[in-house]
Amino acid sequence: MQKRSLGSLSVSVVGIGCNNFGARLDQEGTSSVVLSALDSGINFFDTADIYGATQSEVLLGKALGARRSEAVIASKFGMPIDDTHFGAKPAYVKQACEDSLRRLGTDYIDLYQLHYPDETTPIADTLGALHELVAEGKVREIGCSNLNPQQLKEAKEAAGSGPAFVSIQNQYSLLARDPEHDGVLDACEEHGLGFLPFYPLANGLLTGKYVPGQPIPEGTRLSLMSPERSAHWKSDALMARVGSLVQYADEVEIPLLTLAFSWLLARDQVSSVIAGASNADQVRANAAAATQLPTEVLAMLDILTD
């Protein structure tokens, strides 16, 4: 599988989102996904301390076992685990890292990411703690998630001559093209950041499983989501776009999954497309979905989803 640079890291263009680990998947299911990914050439695993009520990191670490050196582990801190474990103050950053290292069963995290901006803490203070973790060898590279262009600029300036963010992880897909319009992709170019899309398959709408006008398939993520959360994804506007994409995928005889992955990878700023998987078959399908689309197909996808 093709790899792209993310700071000093080399990551597969398809990554595994680990939000299912400890939630929908137990250790056996997690190990099946992780080992299938490694065997498919996928080396990038994106987790967070809050995933699976802190168990995602535990299950991922155990699944990798002796193959830890084959993997690039990305984890995150900052979102509330409970009433006392949250934020980006220096002392908490260091404690959160230690906790993640222990859960993962490793002595370093390849990419450690600020999960969400902490308005109560100057970014320079957070970066100071992250710089210490890099100097101690506990973290190789640092990144962020859910920041806007102004916050990225402030972070770049605050980093000074020390380690700076090498990545940003925001929502981006054929059904959510905000980074093109809000300046985040431009900021990636300006500051040398790799972009990591989350929800690249729009909570499953771009997998090809969903057909507008038909019931949501049982057992899928959307079918298990609470009504207040699923309302956006089941909206008439999004379903109309899905219908157009399904029809176009049939016309060009390219699976919608391939269109979704490869359209993102055609963006120079995108380093890896991170998607969850519940079983080995989904892992292999995701791995096979990364390809180079014809120029005319990319252009039509832009038109259909603009």
Question: If DSSP states are collapsed to H, E and C, what string results for 222-267?
Answer: HHHCCHHHHHHHCCHHHHHHHHHHHHHHHHHCCCHHHHHHHHHHCC
Question: What would the two tokens of residue 130 be?
Answer: 């992250």
- How far is Cα 303 from Cα 248, in angstroms, rounded to an integer? 11
Output the DSSP codes for 264-287: HHTSTTB--EEEE-SSHHHHHHHH
- Is 273 in contact with 265 (CB distance < 8 Å)? yes
The identity of residue 257, as a single letter, is: L
Catalytic-labelled residue, pool 51, 92, 172, 199: 51
Reference 276, options 10, 21, 72; nearest CA is 21
Q: Which residues lie across from 167 on neighbouring strands?
A: 194
The answer to whether the beta carbons of residues 121 and 85 sit under 8 Å apart is no
Q: Are 250 and 259 in contact (CB under 8 A)?
A: no
What is the rounded (10 degree) CA torsion for 64, 106, 62, 281? -30
Active site residue 51: yes
Phi then psi for 178, rounded to 5 degrees? Answer: -55, -40
**How far apart (Å, rounded) are the C-alpha atoms in residues 14 and 29?**
19
Strands (E), 138-252: 139-145, 165-171, 194-198
**First CA to last CA across the chain, in angstroms?**
30
The residues carrying an active-site annotation are 51
